[in-house]
Chain A
Amino acid sequence: MLKVKNLHASVDGKEILRGIDFEVKAGEVHAIMGPNGSGKSTFASVLAGNEKFEVTEGEVEYNGKNLLEMSIEERAREGLFLGFQYPVEIPGVSMANFMKLAVAERRKAQGKEPLSAGQMLKYMREKAAVVELDAKLMNRAVNEGFSGGEKKKNEIFQMAMLEPELALLDETDSGLDIDALRIVATGVNKLRSEKNATVLITHYQRLLDYIVPDFVHVLYKGRIIYSGGKDLALKLEKEGYDWLINDYKEE
C-alpha cells in the first residue's frame, strides 16, 4: 500500500527527515515511536502533502502511484487520512457542511453514488456514535469550542466518515484522559479491516495497550533506527530509548 524509500525532507533549509525507509501493507497496524523532535509529526505531514515541508530526496509509492506528485486533496480523496495532533478551529464553517463536501469528494473517488441529504444525516449520526461524539456538534463550527477530547474524537469521527485506506494518526492519544483514550481506541479498532492500514504516531506505550500494533518502529533524528514487534513498545516503556540511541552511531 505504502512504500517509502530514502525519504529526505526539510523545513526552512533544515533537514528533518534524513532517509526514511518504511513499508505498510493492507491490514497492518504500525506504531512509530521516538523521542520528541525526532521527526515523527514531520513524517506524517510530508505523507499528507503539507506544503511547509520540502521533499529533497527519495520516493513514496502509494497504491502504485507516486504520492509525492499528488496534491494534498488528491491524496485525501485516494484514501490517505491524517488525524491531526492539533486540529484547527474553522469559525463559520459548520461540521455538517464540511463533512458533506468531504464525503462527496471521497465517494466520487471511490466510484460511489453521492448520498442524499437524508442518508448523509443518518450516516453522520451512525459514525458519531462510533466515537460517542455528541451529534449536536454537527451544527457547530468545525472544532470551535470543542473540548480537547472532543477535538480528538472528531478526528476519528471524520476518519470513520471518509473510510480511509491508510490512516495516519498523529499523537491522537496526547491530552486524552483514560475514558476518551478508550473511546478513541475502540473507534480505531472498529474501523480496522483487511483492506485498510493504520499508522499510529505516539510518544507513549499507553495507546498501544488499546490498539495492538503489528509493528513498532523507532524514529530518531529523522531515520527509523529500529523496528520490531509489539513487544518493542513494552521494552521502550520500561527501558526508555537510551539503549537504542547509544547503539546508534551518527555518521
Chain B
Amino acid sequence: MEELNRKVVLRDGDCSGCGGSWEVPAGGTLELYQLCTAGRHEVRLSVGEGGKAKVVFAAVPESEVEYDYEIGLNGEGADVELYGLIMATGGRKARVRTALRHNVGRCHSDQQVRGVASEGGYGLFDGLVYVAQDAQKTEAYQQSRNLLLDRTGRIETQPQLEIYADDVKCSHGATVGQMGDEQIYYMRQRGLSEEAARRLQLGGFVGAILDHVEDEGLREEFESLIEKCTTF
C-alpha cells in the first residue's frame, strides 16, 4: 500500500547507484529530496489524480554524478514541481536528465533548474516536457538558468518540448550567463572584497533553489553538501 503523504530523502548510502520508484496516489503528496554525490540514480515517479509531487535535487558531485528523473503525470489535476541545482566546479561532472510526461489533461508542472560550472567542470541538463495528444489544458513550464564562473567551466542545456495536444500552456527558457563584472564592481565600491561579492552573488543564485527546501535541517544539509563538493 502506498502512503498518502510521503517525504523521501535520498542521500549517499540510501541508494548508491540506484534510485527508486514511487507512486503518488490520487489526492496524495510526495516530497522528494535528493543529494547524492556519486553514481547514477534513476528516479521514477507516477502521480495520480489530484496528486502533488515536489522534487528538490542537488547534483553536486564528489567527482561525477548522474540523475535521471522520469515523472509521469497520470491522473487529471496532478501537479509536479521540480527544483534543482547542478554544480560542477573543479573538473567535476554532473548530468541531469528529466522527463515530465503529461499523459492526461489538466495537469500542471513547473521545473526550475540552475547550473553553475567552473574550472573545467561540466554540467548537463537535458529536460524533456512531453504532452500527450489527449492531455488538453496542460500547463507545463521549464526554466534552465546557468552561471559560468570562469572561461573553463562548461554547461550544456537541452530543453525539449514535445507537445501533441493543442490546448496547452507551455513555456521553456534557457540562459547561460557569466558572473557580472559590473555587479562585482558595484559591490566592491560599497566595501565588499571581490571574494565576498562573488560569494554573495552565487549565494543568491543558488539560494533561489534552496528556498524550496522548507525544513531547516535539510536545507543545512544541502548547504553543507555545496560547501563540501564545490571549489571556487
Measured CB to CB, the residues of A under 8 A from B are 48-51, 71-73, 76-77, 81-82, 84, 87-88, 90-94, 97-98, 101-102, 105-106, 109, 141-142, 158, 162
Contacts and interface: CB of A to CB of B under 8 A. Distances in A.
Nearest to A107: B191
Interface string B194-210: 10100011011101100
A93 B199 CA distance: 10
Contacts, number: 70
Contact of A105 (B192, B205, B207): B192
B191 A76 contact: yes
B196 A101 contact: yes
Interface residues of B, number: 21
Interface stretch (B5-13, B36-44, B48-56, B182-190): B182-190
A173 B160 CA distance: 47
Contacts of B208: 92
A98 B187 contact: yes
Given A90-B201, A92-B201, A101-B200, A73 B191 contact: yes
Most buried by B among A71, A72, A158: A72
A72 B189 contact: yes
B129 to A, nearest CB: 25
Contacts of A142: 186
Nearest to A74: B191
Contacts of B185: 50-51, 72
A158 B201 CA distance: 18
A102 B191 contact: yes
B133 interface: no
A106 B196 CA distance: 14
